[in-house]
Amino acid sequence: MNQSGSRSLPTLVLLVLLASAFSPALGGAVQSSGSDPLGVEFTDVSNITGLSNISSGPLSNWASYGPGTSWGDYDGDGDLDLYITARFDQLGMETEESFAEGTEQSVIDAAIEENRSGQTFLMRNDDGQFVDVSVSAGVKLVNSTAIGASWADFDGDGDVDLYISKFGVADFSLTAINSGGEENIMFSNNGDGTFSDVTALTNLGNPGHSTGGVWADYDHDGDLDLYSINSGIVDERDFDMWPETNILYRNDGDSNDDGVPEFSDQTIEAGRISGQELNPTEDFIPAVSNESKDNAPEGAQGGDVVLGNGNVLSPAGTGVSWAALWFDYNKDGWEDLFIASDFGISPLYENNGDGTFDLVTGEAGLLLQGTGMGAHAADIDGDGDFDLCQTNFGPNFIWYNQNGESFERELDSDFHNNDDKRITVNWDCHFFDYDLDGDFDLFTTAGRINTYVPTQENTLFRNDGNGWLTDITLEAGLGGHEKSMGASTVDFDGDGDIDIIVANSDGPLQLFENNAAQITGNHWLKIALQGNQSNSYGIGMLVEVELSDGSVISQQTYAGSGYLGSGDPVVHFGLGSETQVKEVRVQWSSGHIQVIQNVTVDQTLVVMEESPPPVDDNYLVLAAIAILVIGIGGRILLIRNRNDSALSEVDSNLSED
């Protein structure tokens, strides 16, 4: 039995050729073209915080997945706790053993099972020390393929709940292919440090090959809905690909009064936002490449999404989805949906505001083939709209938003032109203001996909103030050679600057502490939302900070983002030398804009949603009078017209006589 990766044959060949052409450059340290003028550095504190000894599964140098990291204050004590997902080998074949022909199946099965020994951890934050409480909390998973996790208050009771995304066994030869995978899990927070499995009650099982879940109140009814992401299976041994549809779950509320909301699948009804081109008559039947039909699972059909067979790529996506992102790209107040699709075009679905979506990938200017793995959005050029990052196996894409009408790809700066990074196997990306200077910088994770591609480095790009991205990885202390799948950026120690956790598939977790708040003297502001008409944590809301010079910094709140990395819903603003914020504006899903003026910096501002101001009674009276006058006027005009008509008829009769 041959070892196998997770990429298509053409992609594999391309990477091999590129790696051989550029291996001398990739083999050494990455040469950074810039420096950090403020002297900001990151220090690895994994050991002293208790994270370095966490082993979420077997180590691998091949096509393993995980672990993922997700931050949330599950116990409500004011600091961020950490859920770490499993690490496992995708095909169960990365044992470094080569099975000869005739090897007994029991031997092969044992090796596969060993490589599925991934486990998860809930690490409680006790003043910067992390303690494993997985078992007592009831969220410990063993022999698991759970690689994705996101925190969200799905039931609106004020505490964050935990959604687990399981990949399942990814082998065409195993029975899992027929069952669709392993069910995801919805854990409800009991409010006492423990969780209950409410998957069956919520209908959120999604037995696909799932990679993550992202939350938003897409219909603005005050509760959180879920978009669950499935990647399907890619098997290079037989050159098979089995894409799967993503699922949009609408929160329908607690209809049976059991204390748990029920969710319904709205993927088709909402506008076929599955992440792939669906057959109009046979929705949710997976597609495989034409050349692999002979090896396809029963019921599969040929499709346009293929391993380089020349068929047309769909702007709806491939169905091999790794990450998704809710963000308001066109500034109409409704959360739109972007999906990172492998082997093709990554689609954008525009929210119509009535529960439905339109596919707008082409008109938005995003018709560029890639191998999408991660996605994140931020206003990196300061023009008031959200720009988009898509990580790929190869050059990443930065899409600059053109006032909500379309996107233009960035083709300048170190981000695009650094030859050492152009063929990097990229997994995740996150925008955040690491130096607190008021603009958004970018961190990307990278690592090898197979033995033919050299190990590559994660990268920190500094925003020079106008969207220009400069590589400062080494200067910031983030250099190193690991296979990093996911990352997340949060202020885990509460000192005001944003730290980075990196999840490695071939080594331990790395938690990097940022010293920007101490070194730069720059100020900051964190804003935590509390909704009442909107969802409880204000997920999906637009938050704007206006500074003394009139400039505005914008952010949107997320619950789940990126690839295998998720932060908390608090928005974090770097303010540079500003000592007071002129105005904070929150646009709630109701459409009401709440304004807080003259805000003190270097604090966490809690904004409770206010009710829209009542309409002045005088205006109501005037409106009623106006309606009455219009109505009376219309009545008089109608009577006059009728009288005129009657007189005309009399005159006509007289003339005839």
Which pLDDT belongs to residue 612?
76
Degrees, nearest 5: CA angle 206-207-210: 75
Contacts of range 198-201, beta carbons closer than 8 Å, 24 or more positions apart:
198/260, 201/258, 201/260, 201/262
Is the peptide bond preceding residue 67 cis, with omega within 30 degrees of 0?
yes
Cα–Cα nearest to 223, from 536, 437, 524: 536
CB 522 within 8 A of CB 574: yes
Cα–Cα nearest to 85, from 149, 163, 175, 178: 149
Which pLDDT belongs to residue 33?
37
From the number of C-beta atoms within 10 Å of its C-beta (0-12, 13-18, 19+), residue 480 rates as middle
Separation CA 123–CA 119 (nearest Å) = 13
List Cβ neighbours of 397 (8 Å cut-off, separation of 6 or more).
368, 370, 388, 389, 390, 409, 410
Which pLDDT belongs to residue 418?
57
Cα–Cα nearest to 561, from 47, 70, 126, 59: 70
Cα–Cα nearest to 13, from 251, 316, 307, 442: 307
Helix then strand count (H, E) for the chain reads 9, 42
Cα–Cα nearest to 205, from 228, 178, 223: 228
Task: Report strand pairing: 42-44 vs 510-514.
Answer: antiparallel
Query: Is the model's pTM score more than 0.85?
Result: no
Which pLDDT belongs to residue 568?
87
- Run of H or E residues at 654: helix 617-656
Place of tokens 């080594």: 507
Give 98-117 as a 3 state SS string.
CCCCCCCHHHHHHHHHHCCC
Query: Residue 501 corresponds to which tokens in the numbers above?
Result: 């956790």
List Cβ neighbours of 94 (8 Å cut-off, separation of 6 or more).
3, 60, 61, 62, 63, 64, 115
Torsions phi, psi for 373 (to 5 deg):
-120, -45
Separation CA 38–CA 520 (nearest Å) = 6
From the number of C-beta atoms within 10 Å of its C-beta (0-12, 13-18, 19+), residue 653 rates as exposed
Contacts of range 366-369, beta carbons closer than 8 Å, 24 or more positions apart:
366/399, 366/407, 367/315, 368/397, 368/409, 369/313, 369/344, 369/345
Q: Reduce the DSSP state of residue 385 to 3 states and report it.
A: coil
Separation CA 652–CA 39 (nearest Å) = 97
List Cβ neighbours of 597 (8 Å cut-off, separation of 6 or more).
582, 583, 584
Sheet hosting strand 571-576, strand order edge to edge: 571-576, 523-530, 604-608
Place of tokens 């990291």: 69
Beta strands in 370-480 (DSSP E): 374-378, 387-391, 397-401, 407-409, 426-432, 441-446, 459-463, 469-471
- Run of H or E residues at 126: strand 121-126
Which pLDDT belongs to residue 572?
97
Give 579-623 as a 3 state SS string.
CEEEEEEEECCCCCEEEEEEEECCCEEEEECCCCCCCCHHHHHHH
Torsions phi, psi for 460 (to 5 deg):
-110, 120
Query: Residue 119 corresponds to which tokens in the numbers above?
Result: 């486990």
Which pLDDT belongs to residue 586?
98
Which pLDDT belongs to residue 303?
35
Q: Which residues, given as ranges, of the chain have pLDDT below 50? A: 1-34, 92-98, 172-178, 239, 280-311, 647, 650, 654, 657
The β-bridge partners of 358 are 350
List Cβ neighbours of 615 (8 Å cut-off, separation of 6 or more).
none
